[in-house]
A and B are shown apart, each in its own frame.
Chain A
Amino acid sequence: MSAFRLWIGAALAVALAFLTLPVLAIFLNTSPGRLLDSLDDPAARDALLLSLKTTTLALAIILAVGTPAAYLLATRRFRGRSLVLTLVELPLVLPPAVAGIALLAAVGPQGIFGDALAEAHVELALQRAGVVVALVFVAAPFYLRQAVAAFAAVEPTLLQASRTLGASEAATLARVVVPTALPGLAAGTALAWGRALGEFGATLMFAGSFRGITQTAPLAIYDDFTDDFSGALALSAVLVCVSAALLISVKLAGGERGLAAR
């Protein structure tokens, strides 16, 4: 075996070990029974339930607004389109702490829209609604990016065929564009959901970490790890399983698309 082959083989082995061992350790550190017991802790259950509720709501908002917006970006050419694309993808690379500060500066009590929101009796900061706002802010770009790419990959003649067959543009979106782009949209949904589930920094800064109100699973793990390490481990194990399920669903959706293209 050549030195080069040995070198790239060793590099992969190191990368694989480094990336998987910490995740494996979550499951190896405590017995499965102990992990299950820790989930009986009401604090852990509250956190998981809150994560489920807030991420579901955030995803619903992202899908409802992001799908038509992505369709527009994918099918129209207009001045400033690249700028718009860059702007909506910006939160993707924003440090979470910066996202938290940005949300406070915009819609926090002292933010530029703070007074307007207060007059409308809408409170976001340190509230459960604030968690959803933070999740939408950080997760939406993942869906938008993927959805724009999926819509752009739909053959224009399919849209045109649908129009000549009597379907309006809205009907065409529902009957042809979304079904054809579905694997890509599903992948975007899974990625956005994964990002929302893991959201920590922006939520902590904007919504705080109040048990039962704004303390999502990642925040609960952070809260627990000093005095109840095994509880934190149990919650982490659950998040690992959910995240892995999402990743696998993305891979499967991608495989499905590959099949459709064949």
Chain B
Amino acid sequence: MDSLRVEAAVTLGAFDLDVELDVQAGRCLALAGPSGAGKSTLLRVAAGLLRPGSGRVSCGEAVWLDTAAGVDVAPERRGCGYVFQDYALFEHLRVWQNVGYALPRRERRAAAAPLLERFGLTHLSDARPRTLSGGERQRVALARALARRPSVLLLDEPLSALDARTRANATRELAALLREAEVPCVLVTHDFTEAAVLGDEVAVIDGGRLVQRGTPADLAATPRSAFVADFTGAVVLRGTAQSRSDGLTLVDLDGGGQVASTDAGEGAVAASVFPWEIAVEPAGAAHPGSARNRIAAEVVSVTRVGGRVRLGLLAGQPLAAEVSEAAVRDLALAPGVRVAATWKATATRLIAG
């Protein structure tokens, strides 16, 4: 399988975008950033829906766009599976006709059937899109994009049109789909937690520039700018949840350790906590206080961002804490120092995933 490479310089009025990125087959890159940062523009360039002033797009050996060489392959010949933010379903067609749109007419019905089955849409195959719920519409859009076995999968905020309840399920399903995908995937989101849950890597884009790229944990632990520090928001820890009768949910973290949350949850979850909710104490300190969660960790990085200090911690899974300059001095925090990271159960959010 081939990797996707996009270089684009676009000027649209006062907005200018200049970004280069590549994604390997089987990997998912989450493009995160505020609205208007240029994330969707990059997807459109990759799919051939927007021609940049200058740029190059290639997938493996195939060159889809090379403005210098005058190459511009039409969108229908690029083989990009594209999921639009509003799903862009064809309202005049039935569900199975939407899913089979990219398939040759004769085999459309037969070839659409396994996809409908896989996305739990079989009972809706004769329905019109306007009668579907948000989650069902999203599944139709995904099935439709995958029907032609695309060589690249591009998803533009595939979860933003869903209500909170539906989103939890849809996130889990999408995460599973992206894990199985054998092609390069690019996912646009303005939500860092979503990016961390769905992306193998996250590229933060702001004002038309790639600000930082790395694993979600890297970005949270060593943000290169105050913008990235604020944007990364919550740290995400994966684990398996089990509800207890006293209302607390215990999460056994992948890689060791256990945290408690006041959120309900069962099975595979992502536990998220904001770095500024996490306090750092000397390892082996006497009493954990009112903080429910206490995890032994090793400091791996100390990054000053504005007036704050971001600590990269390793505790089975990567973790980040935000502390004051005074705490760094008092605890002599430096890479290699062993500490205990503590935070309250009430500060721990659980996301199904």
CB of B322, distance to nearest CB on chain A (Å): 40
A76 to B312, CA, bound (A): 52
A180 to B74, CA, bound (A): 23
Nearest A residue to B50 via CB reads: A160
Contact A160 B49 (CB under 8 A): yes
Q: Which residues in A have their C-beta under 8 angstroms from that of B126?
A: none
Stretch of A124-132, A143-151, A164-172 with 4 or more beta carbons under 8 angstroms from chain B: A164-172
Which chain B residues numbered 105 to 153 have a C-beta less than 8 Å away from chain A?
Answer: 130, 144-145, 147-148
The answer, yes or no, to whether B276 is at the interface (CB within 8 Å) is no
Known contacts A164-B75, A167-B76; A180/B82 CB under 8 A? no
Known contacts A160-B49, A164-B76, A165-B101; A180/B148 CB under 8 A? no
Stretch of B83-91, B164-172, B332-340 with 4 or more beta carbons under 8 angstroms from chain A: B83-91
CB of A88, distance to nearest CB on chain B (Å): 27
CB of B326, distance to nearest CB on chain A (Å): 52
Q: Which residues in A have their C-beta under 8 angstroms from that of B86?
A: 155, 157
The answer, yes or no, to whether B102 is at the interface (CB within 8 Å) is yes
Known contacts A160-B75, A180-B91, A260-B91; A166/B84 CB under 8 A? no
Q: Which residues in B have their C-beta under 8 angstroms from that of A167?
A: 76, 101-102
Q: Which residues in B have their C-beta under 8 angstroms from that of A164?
A: 47, 49, 75-76, 78, 80-82, 145
A3 to B91, CA, bound (A): 49
A167 to B88, CA, bound (A): 15
Nearest A residue to B150 via CB reads: A164
CB of B147, distance to nearest CB on chain A (Å): 8
CB of A33, distance to nearest CB on chain B (Å): 46
| Size range of the chain B interface in the assembly | 20 to 34
Known contacts A166-B102, A176-B90, A180-B92; A161/B76 CB under 8 A? no
Q: Which residues in A have their C-beta under 8 angstroms from that of B82?
A: 160-161, 164
Q: Which residues in A have their C-beta under 8 angstroms from that of B76?
A: 163-168
The answer, yes or no, to whether A80 is at the interface (CB within 8 Å) is no
A96 to B74, CA, bound (A): 46
The answer, yes or no, to whether A22 is at the interface (CB within 8 Å) is no
Q: Which residues in A have their C-beta under 8 angstroms from that of B145?
A: 164-165
Which chain B residues numbered 59 to 77 have a C-beta less than 8 Å away from chain A?
Answer: 74-76
Residue among A158, A161, A163, A179 with the highest chain B CB neighbour number at 10 A: A161
Which chain A residues numbered 12 to 65 have a C-beta less than 8 Å away from chain B?
Answer: none
CB of B349, distance to nearest CB on chain A (Å): 32
Secondary structure call for the A interface:
helix
CB of A253, distance to nearest CB on chain B (Å): 14
Q: Which residues in B have their C-beta under 8 angstroms from that of A157?
A: 84, 86, 88
A161 to B148, CA, bound (A): 13
Contact A155 B92 (CB under 8 A): no
Contact A161 B92 (CB under 8 A): no
Contact B102 A165 (CB under 8 A): yes
Contact A179 B92 (CB under 8 A): yes
A179 to B101, CA, bound (A): 14
Nearest B residue to A155 via CB reads: B88
The answer, yes or no, to whether A243 is at the interface (CB within 8 Å) is no
Contact A160 B92 (CB under 8 A): no
Q: Which residues in A have their C-beta under 8 angstroms from that of B47?
A: 160, 164
Known contacts A179-B92, A180-B91, A180-B92; A163/B74 CB under 8 A? yes
Q: Mark B91-104, 1 if CB is under 8 A from A, else 0.
A: 11000000001100
Contact A165 B148 (CB under 8 A): yes
A86 to B90, CA, bound (A): 32
Nearest A residue to B148 via CB reads: A166
Q: Which residues in B have their C-beta under 8 angstroms from that of A166?
A: 76, 79, 102, 148
Q: Which residues in A have their C-beta under 8 angstroms from that of B91?
A: 180, 260
CB of A262, distance to nearest CB on chain B (Å): 8
A161 to B144, CA, bound (A): 10
Q: Which residues in A have their C-beta under 8 angstroms from that of B88?
A: 155, 157-158, 160-161
Contact A161 B102 (CB under 8 A): no
CB of A167, distance to nearest CB on chain B (Å): 6
The answer, yes or no, to whether A249 is at the interface (CB within 8 Å) is no
The answer, yes or no, to whether A162 is at the interface (CB within 8 Å) is yes
Q: Which residues in A have their C-beta under 8 angstroms from that of B148?
A: 165-166
A166 to B130, CA, bound (A): 23
Q: Mark B12-37, 1 if CB is under 8 A from A, else 0.
A: 00000000000000000000000000
CB of A143, distance to nearest CB on chain B (Å): 21
Q: Mark B38-54, 1 if CB is under 8 A from A, else 0.
A: 00000010011100000
A180 to B78, CA, bound (A): 25
Contact A160 B74 (CB under 8 A): no
A164 to B79, CA, bound (A): 7
Which chain A residues numbered 158 to 203 have a C-beta less than 8 Å away from chain B?
Answer: 158, 160-168, 175-176, 179-180, 182
CB of B93, distance to nearest CB on chain A (Å): 8
A164 to B75, CA, bound (A): 5
* Interface residues in chain A, defined as those with a beta carbon under 8 Å from any beta carbon in chain B: 155, 157-158, 160-168, 175-176, 179-180, 182, 260, 262
Q: A160-B88, A165-B147, A166-B148 are in contact. List 8 more A-B contacts (CB 8 A).
A: A155-B86, A157-B86, A158-B88, A161-B90, A164-B78, A166-B102, A180-B90, A260-B91
